[in-house]
Amino acid sequence: MASTSGTEMPEQIDLSKLSLEQLFQIKQELEQEFSGIQESLQTLYNCKAKYASSKEALEAFQPEWENRQILVPLTSSMYVPGRIKDLDNFVLDIGTGYYVEKNLNDSKDYFKRRVDYVQEQIEKIEKIQVQKNRFLNAIVGVIEMKQLAVAKQLQQQQNA
């Protein structure tokens, strides 16, 4: 009967008992996972930088900037001229086409929370990346060991 507790240990596999073909297949799958993890990390680093940049921009706002002319980004490469009319109300893009209006302090706090949250996610994924890297290195070590054993066996057969 299967255990219902959530504290079950993951199944451990003795890598030395797997064939070279199986090891190469596992290695290839791990390399694909590792690549996906690296892409995810890069995306998170980019998000964190954008949130931090937005927070820094809010930190730079000065009371004397009222009615100052600025360029307003419509996309990452298209800007239109505009004027600062209200220094305490900001419209924030919170994702998937939703916007929210917040005052200056709440806007700064929003971006700080987003930076902190993304950093937590980065740390979680980096831990997974380290584990996958260790496992990948273990598999490569076993593959090299098995290949040396096969080469040694072939050499012994040729010498006999």
Secondary structure (3-state) at 100: strand
What CATH number labels 26-153?
Answer: 1.10.287.370
What is the full DSSP assignment across 118-155? HHHHHHHHHHHHHHHHHHHHHHHHHHHHHHHHHHHHHH
pLDDT along the chain (160 residues), means of 10: 54 82 93 95 96 92 87 89 88 90 94 97 96 93 91 86
Per domain, the residue ranges of the chain are 26-153
pLDDT at 75: 85
Tell whether pTM > 0.85. no
